[in-house]
C-alpha cells in the first residue's frame, strides 16, 4: 500500500536525520529530494545549462560525495528557482512517493507541490543560528575549511532564495505539523516526528 510522508523545511534543520530515522522506523523508502537539485546544480558548475542538466539527470548522478559541498548547495538553490528545472524533476518524485510499501520524501515543496495529498506532512525548522552551527560541525567533521560566519551567511542566503522564489517557495503546508528542533536533541526530534506520523496514520 502507498503511504507518503512529506518532510519539508529549511537548510540543516534536521530533515535528513529525521527522514532517515522515520523511514527506518516505518520500513519505508527514503528520497532526499535536495540531492536532485544538488546534482543539477553540480553540473552547472562546469557551464552546463541547468534545464538540459535536469532533463538528462540519471540515478548515478546522485551517488557523489561532492554533492554535499557548500558550493554545490548554493548552485542547487540557484537552479531550484527555474520552473523548467523543477518541472523536469516532478514525475520522478511523484512516482517515488506512490511506490508500494510507503515513502518518505524530504525537501522544500513536498507537502505543498509534489505531494499535496501526502498522508502525513511535517515541516522541520530551527533558528538560523542553530542550523548554521549544526552545518558548521558537519563540514568541519568532513575536513572542510570554513567559519561559522560563512556558514551562517550561506544558510541565510539560501533560506531567502528558497522562501522568496515564485515557483514552489519553501513554506509549511497548511496541514503540516511544525517541529522546531532548535532545542531538541536528535532522539526527541525523531520521537516528535514519529508521534505526529502515528497520529496521521490513526
In angstroms, the CA 194 to CA 202 distance is: 12
DSSP H or E run through 106: strand 103-107
DSSP H or E run through 194: helix 186-201
Spell out the residues 6+ positions from residue 31 whose beta carbon is closer than 8 angstroms to its own. 93, 96, 97, 103, 104, 105, 106
Segment interacting with ligand CDP (CB under 6 A) among 19-27, 56-64, 104-112, 190-198: 104-112
Q: Is 38 a residue that touches ligand CDP (CB under 6 A)?
A: yes
Q: Cβ 36 to ligand CDP, closest distance in Å? A: 7
For the record, the C-alpha cell of 122 comes out as: 511535517
User: At 122, is the secondary structure helix, strand, or coil?
Assistant: strand
Q: Cβ 143 to ligand CDP, closest distance in Å? A: 18
Q: Is 50 a residue that touches ligand CDP (CB under 6 A)?
A: no
Residue with cell string 525537501: 107
Q: Which is nearer to ligand CDP, 80 or 177 (CB)?
A: 80
Residue among 73, 104, 173, 176 that touches ligand CDP (CB under 6 A):
73
**Quick one: which of 75, 110, 104 has its CA closest to 90?**
110
Backbone φ, ψ for residue 69 (5° rounding): -75, 155
DSSP H or E run through 134: helix 128-141
Segment interacting with ligand CDP (CB under 6 A) among 33-41, 144-152, 179-187, 188-196: 33-41
Q: Is 77 a residue that touches ligand CDP (CB under 6 A)?
A: yes
Residue among 7, 11, 126, 177 that touches ligand CDP (CB under 6 A):
11
The contact pattern for ligand CDP, residues 130-159, with x = CB under 6 A and - = no contact, is ----------------------------x-
The site for ligand CDP (CB under 6 A) is made up of: 11-12, 33-34, 37-38, 73, 76-77, 80, 107-109, 158, 162
Amino acid at each position: 500500500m502507498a503511504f507518503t510522508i512529506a518532510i519539508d523545511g529549511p537548510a540543516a534543520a534536521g530533515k535528513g536525520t529525521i527522514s532517515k530515522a522515520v523511514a527506518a522506523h516505518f520500513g519505508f523508502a527514503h528520497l532526499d529530494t535536495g540531492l536532485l537539485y544538488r546534482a543539477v546544480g553540480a553540473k552547472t558548475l562546469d557551464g552546463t545549462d541547468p534545464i538540459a542538466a535536469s532533463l538528462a539527470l540519471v540515478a548515478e548522478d546522485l551517488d557523489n560525495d561532492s554533492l554535499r559541498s557548500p558550493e554545490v548547495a548554493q548552485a542547487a538553490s540557484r537552479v531550484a528557482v527555474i520552473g523548467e528545472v523543477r518541472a523536469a524533476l516532478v514525475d520522478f518524485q511523484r512516482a517515488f512517493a506512490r511506490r508500494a510499501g510507503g515513502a518518505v520524501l524530504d525537501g522544500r515543496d513536498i507537502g505543498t507541490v509534489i505531494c499535496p495529498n501526502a498522508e502525513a506532512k511535517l515541516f522541520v525548522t530551527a533558528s538560523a543560528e542553530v542550523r548554521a552551527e549544526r552545518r558548521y560541525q558537519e563540514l568541519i567533521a568532513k575536513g572542510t575549511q570554513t567559519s561559522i560566519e560563512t556558514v551562517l551567511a550561506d544558510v541565510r542566503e539560501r533560506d531567502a532564495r528558497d522562501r522568496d522564489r515564485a515557483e514552489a517557495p519553501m513554506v509549511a503546508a497548511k496541514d503540516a505539523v511544525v517541529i522546531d528542533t532548535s532545542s531538541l536533541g536528535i532522539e526527541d526530534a525523531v520521537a516528535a516526528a514519529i508521534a505526529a506520523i502515528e497520529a496521521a496514520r490513526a
